[in-house]
Structure 1
């Protein structure tokens, strides 16, 4: 009887606690995706959106050239933004990127990287210097007490920023699997079965020539990274007294806690990954929303053959005239309605089955039944 009475008494004492909601506090995350625009920003923003919906706080650091995100109907209400002053008289990053792409179409990707990619790196180095020189900005970031910095792997500066404000980092690789980056993070590039070429990518199984080409490409990319990227950022590391006594490439490897690769085994080759590389393919895919009225009206007229959506991403918006004509001529042979994401439709003759649009809601368009 005593035991039974004690049991009832304990239950009576515990009963009020069932009605008290536990206190749960979300984390505070800082994101940086290059200067804050294009597909690199969108990939990071989709990841950040998931974190916000799970109760966390997200702040993006962006250039003043990209401050339009603060009033964006979708992102403006989800995230906080810390804006640094754009060090260029105009949007030099976009301009130099467009020039690099145009030259690469004309001269080949490899030659384009050798001749013109350094201009993009120099432009980004000025942005990096603007951030690391701004003590007011750095103090503001420290005072927000972030738990982690998520950053796009295209910009070395983010790891330097993390060092300055004493944050651990998670790296975001926004595109498909890239053996060179995986190799930097400790995984095997798998050159005997994974093509690592800049152009004319072959289909496995790889021939001896394909494997040799992949090895040469890996060495070439390493030399490019060392001679172009590290040269610029080593100078910035010394100028701003980034504390680690390591070269930039070494402290990238030692500083990253996890790496999120936007890759999916359903559409890519199987490759070995180390535990610090997490595949997050499909993270940017969401349930399809209603299409804009004009686009929906076009879709209603599509025949049974279906449509082809042609987009080379947010940065590739113009081609040299020769390339443009080749693409349009190929489109004219297809029995499909083609949506072509392209910025410039002036002075070009479009085939009757091609519609040029400056912006395509790809997720919603591809999800339409």
Structure 2
């Protein structure tokens, strides 16, 4: 990736998402990331003096910088990590964009903030907070394209990835880290039922969620598992996966389905990416790792990449495919042209 430019403005960004209709990139950035490490349970609270923010980047204005969005109507600490752009019921018009943001305040249970972005006024407005005990280590969020959407305020159903199986204050968190336990989970929030349930278990630090082009499917990366998998919904038991609830819109009884998940494919395939070590007796597997260094325009390396978002050529005036890359401990982010 030699054709990369470091874009100034935001720093310490954990996630990035592109609204292809508006041709805007949204970034979740938090200066407190440089004072802590969620995996190691280490935080220098005395140094955390400011909240994070969302930034917006206009993809049709090359050589421009990103702009910081002021969150209106929100009171409290704001430390955004995961970010997702939600479908609306306005027939894909640009009047309003719904953003889901994981607010991960140190030593508190994370929650999901529902925000509205109005492109005409460039306003970011707080709508509401969604909390659940199943968000104990929430890191990433993905709006789920399904009919389960509020008719009143466009809050979608969504998936939350807990990067650990235990909250940061739980004594088992240290054991999970020390022994690399596959204890992380996925949780599913059903907007019509206003209820959350866990839907996948025994994961190893899920670090990214992306909706697949296949229906009812999600790509998920597991940082400690070293694998990217395609997960597809399935129905295994109607008795366990269906429940009767009262609709939050109409207060009438309705049946909701809680998705089950199975792995359709995984990359890399474990047996394809290991070789037998001839020096070992008895023979053992030896891992092969493949790394592609990410270089910015000035030749410097871009460390700790945390998220990447693809921008197809057909959605831009300049007709070049691009990616936006964020880094948790980097100042600025990368815009790279793919050739």
Instruction: Determine which structure has the larger strand proportion and give its number.
Output: 2
Q: Is the radius of gyration larger for structure 1 or structure 2?
A: 1
Larger helix percent:
1
TM-score of the aligned structures, taking structure 2 as reference length: 0.28
- Greater relative contact order: 1 or 2 (C-alpha under 8 angstroms, separation 6 or more)? 2
